[in-house]
Structure 1
Amino acid sequence: MTPSTLLRVSVAVAVLTIALKTMAWWVTGSVGMLSDALESFVNLAGAVFALAMVTIARRPADDEHPYGHHKAELFSSGFEGILIIGASVAILWAALSRLIHPQQLEQIGWGSALLVLSSVCNGVLAWYMLRAARVHHSAALEGDARHLFTDVWTSAGVLVGMGGALLTGWQWLDPVVAILVALNILREGGSMLWESSQGLMDEALPQEQLQRVQAVLDEHSTARNSAVRFDSLISRRAGSRNFVDLHMHVPAEWTLGRAAQLRTDVEAALMRVVPNLRATIEILPLGQATVFETVESLNEQETRGK
C-alpha cells in the first residue's frame, strides 16, 4: 500500500477505536478507559493531518520550492507530538480528579473486551505501517505508527489498572495507572516533537549512511590510485529525501567528458547505498578550492588568531 492509502486506513481505524473505547468507558466508568478514548481522538486528528502532509510532500518541485515539498511530512510528525502532549495533560487532569474522588468500576468484562478489540486493530495497523514507513522512508507514516503503538501500550496499562482494582478492591489503582500511562505518552510526544524539529533544521544523515557514502568515495579514489580526491562532504535530510553535496577533484589534464562520466558513476553508486538520495558533485582540478572554501579558511585563521 502507498502511504496515502495506509493513512486513510488509519483514519478509519481511529474512528472505529474511538467508538469502541468510548463504549468501554461508558459501561465501566473507568478514568483509564476515558484516557484511552481521549488518545484515540488524537490518533484521528494525527492521521488526518498526516494524510494532508503526505499529499503535499508528494508534490513535484516548483519555482517556489525547487528542492520539493518533502519536509511537509516532518510537520505531521511534530503535530502528532504536540497532540500527544495535549492528550497526556488532559489524561493527567482527569486521573488526578478521580484519584481525589474514587469511583466504583462497573461491567469490567465488557469494557475489557472492547478495549482488547480496539488494541488488536491498532497493533496490527501500527506494525504494518512501521514496515511500510521503512520501505517508503516516510516520517509521517513512522510518526503515526509510533503513535498507534503508544495507544496499544496505553490500553495495556488501562487493563492492568482495572484488573488490579478488581482483584484488590483498591479503586485508586485505576487513576494511578492512568497517570503512569499519561506520563509515558508525554515522553513519547516529546520524543516525536524533538525528532521532527531536528529534521526541519536540516539534520545530517545518520552515521551509518554517511559511512556508506564515504566507502563509495574511498573506493573510487583508490581505484584511480588517489588521482581523484573527494572533500567538502555535507549532508542533510528533508522528509523522505536525502541530500549530499561534495567536491570531486580530478587531474587538470582530464577532459570534461571524462570527469563528467566519473561523476555519473559516483552518483549512481551513492544512490545505490543511500535510498532517495540526491547528490550534487562539483568538479574541480586537483589543488584548487572554491571561493567559499577560501573565504571560510581565511575566517577560521582569523578566528584562531584572535
Structure 2
Amino acid sequence: MARRSHEDRLNLSAGIASVSVALILIAAKLWALFQTGALSVAATLADSALDLAMSLGALAAITYAARPADDDHAFGHGSAEDLAALGQCLFILGSAALIGGAGAQRLANPAPTVPMSEGAGIAVMGLSIALTLALVAWQRHVARATGNRVVAADSLHYIGDLIPAIGAIGALWASRRFGLGWIDPVVAIGAALLMAHGALRIGRDAWDALMDRAVDAETVAGIEAIASGFPGVRGYHDLRTRRSGGRVFVNLHVELDGAQSLHEAHAIGAALKHAILARYPRADVIIHKDPV
C-alpha cells in the first residue's frame, strides 16, 4: 500500500508539472507573439494551448485512475477521456486551419512582413525548449518508476512539441539575420500541418474507442496465444475486446472439462485471468466458462 501511495504521488507530481509548464509557456508565448507578430510563434502558442488541454486531461486521468466502477458506470469512467480527446481534436484542427490560412495569406503577399523584436521571440522559444526538456526528463523518470502509461504518453507528446519550437527559432533568426520574411509563414504552415496530423490521429483513436472498436490485432493475438495454450482450457470462442480511455476490456468464453468440479473450473478461469493481466496489466478481463 505504501509503494502504491508513493507511485500515486509521483504520477500526480508529473501531472502537476505538466500543467504548470504549459501555463508558463502560454503566458510567455503570448508576450512573444505581441512583441514579434510571428506566425511561427503563434503556431507554438496554439500548440502550448493544446498541451495545457492534454495535460489537464492527463492529470484528471491520473487523479481518477484508481476510482472503482460504480452502480451507474459498471465499466468505469474511461469514456470521458475519449470524449475529451475528441473535443481536443476539433480544437486542434480549428487552430491548425487558422494558422495555416494566415500563413498562406502572408506567404502570398509580395512583400511579407518581417517579424519584429526577433530577439524576444528567440528568448521565449529558448525558454520553451529548456522547460520542455526538463519536464520530459522528470516525466520519463516517473514513467520508469511507476509504469504509468498516461505519463509516458504525455512525455512523448511534449517531445513532439520541440520540433515547432526549434523551427520558430530558426524562422526568427533568419528573419533578423537575412530579412527573409517568407520563412516565418512557411514554418507556420508546416507546424499547422503537423498539428492537423496529430489531431486526426487523436480523433481517430478516440472515435474508435467510443464506437467500441476491437483493440489492435497484436493484442488480440497475444490474448489468443495465452488462452489457447493454457492448462485445462480445451478451447475458446467469442473473444471480444474494446478500449475505453486507457483500459482494455476483454470478454472471453473458454471451454473446460464439464466433469470437473466447480472449484476446479473456477481455479482454471482465475489463473487464466491472472495470466492475461500479467501481460496486459491495464486490462479488465471477464471469463465465461462453458463445458466442452
Same fold by TM-score, threshold 0.5 exceeded? Answer: yes
CA distance in 1, matches of 2:167, 2:280: 39
1:70 aligns with 2:78: yes
Choose which of 257, 267, 276 in structure 2 pairs with 1:261.
267
C-alpha change, 1:60 and 1:72, in structure 2 (3 Å) is: same
Deviation digits for residues 88-115 of structure 1, max 9, x if unmatched?
Answer: 1221243244332622333423321220
Q: Which residue of 2 aligns with 1:249?
A: 255
1:272 aligns with 2:278: yes
Deviation digits for residues 126-184 of structure 1, max 9, x if unmatched?
Answer: 4654773992233xx56644543343221122122223334443212211221121112
Choose which of 143, 151, 154 in structure 2 pairs with 1:132.
143
1:176 aligns with 2:182: no
Q: Which residue of 2 aligns with 1:303?
A: none
C-alpha change, 1:112 and 1:260, in structure 2 (3 Å) is: same
CA distance in 2, matches of 1:176, 1:48: 31
CA distance in 2, matches of 1:94, 1:150: 23
The residue matched to 2:237 in structure 1 has which SS? strand
CA distance in 2, matches of 1:77, 1:143: 13
Of structures 1 and 2, the one scoring higher in RCO (CA 8 A, sep 6+) is: 2
Deviation digits for residues 24-57 of structure 1, max 9, x if unmatched?
Answer: 3333332222332233233324433443455455
Does the 8 A contact of 1:129 with 1:145 survive in 2?
yes
Choose which of 5, 14, 24 in structure 1 pairs with 2:22.
14
1:122 aligns with 2:132: yes
Does the 8 A contact of 2:114 with 2:175 survive in 1?
no
CA distance in 2, matches of 1:265, 1:86: 49
Q: Which residue of 2 aligns with 1:148?
A: 158
CA distance in 1, matches of 2:174, 2:18: 31
Q: Which residue of 2 aligns with 1:297?
A: none
Deviation digits for residues 193-230 of structure 1, max 9, x if unmatched?
Answer: 1111112222323333323322222222xx45xx7222
Q: Which residue of 2 aligns with 1:213?
A: 223
Does the 8 A contact of 2:57 with 2:81 survive in 1?
no
Q: Which residue of 2 aligns with 1:105?
A: 115
CA distance in 1, matches of 2:139, 2:89: 17
Letter in structure 1 aligned against 2:122: S
C-alpha change, 1:212 and 1:33, in structure 2 (3 Å) is: same
CA distance in 2, matches of 1:4, 1:74: 20
Percent of paired sites with the same residue: 28
Gaps of 5+ in 1: 287-306
Does the 8 A contact of 2:122 with 2:173 survive in 1?
no
The residue matched to 2:285 in structure 1 has which SS? strand
Q: Which residue of 2 aligns with 1:188?
A: 198
Does the 8 A contact of 2:114 with 2:180 survive in 1?
no
CA distance in 2, matches of 1:217, 1:49: 35
C-alpha change, 1:71 and 1:135, in structure 2 (3 Å) is: farther
Q: TM-score, normalised by structure 2?
A: 0.83
Q: Which residue of 1 aligns with 2:59?
A: 51
Matches within 5 A, 1:84-103: 84-99=92-107, 100=109, 102-103=112-113
Q: TM-score, normalised by structure 1?
A: 0.79
Deviation digits for residues 67-100 of structure 1, max 9, x if unmatched?
Answer: 1112222233323322221221221243244332
Does the 8 A contact of 1:212 with 1:274 survive in 2?
no
Letter in structure 1 aligned against 2:42: L
Letter in structure 2 aligned against 1:132: A
Which of 26-35 and 240-249 deviates more?
Answer: 26-35
Does the 8 A contact of 1:85 with 1:186 survive in 2?
yes
C-alpha change, 1:248 and 1:23, in structure 2 (3 Å) is: same
Q: CA deviation at 1:118?
A: 0.8
Question: What is the RMSD computed on CA atoms of the aligned residues?
Answer: 2.8
Letter in structure 1 aligned against 2:52: L
Q: CA deviation at 1:4?
A: 4.2
Aligned positions, number: 280
Q: CA deviation at 1:12?
A: 1.1
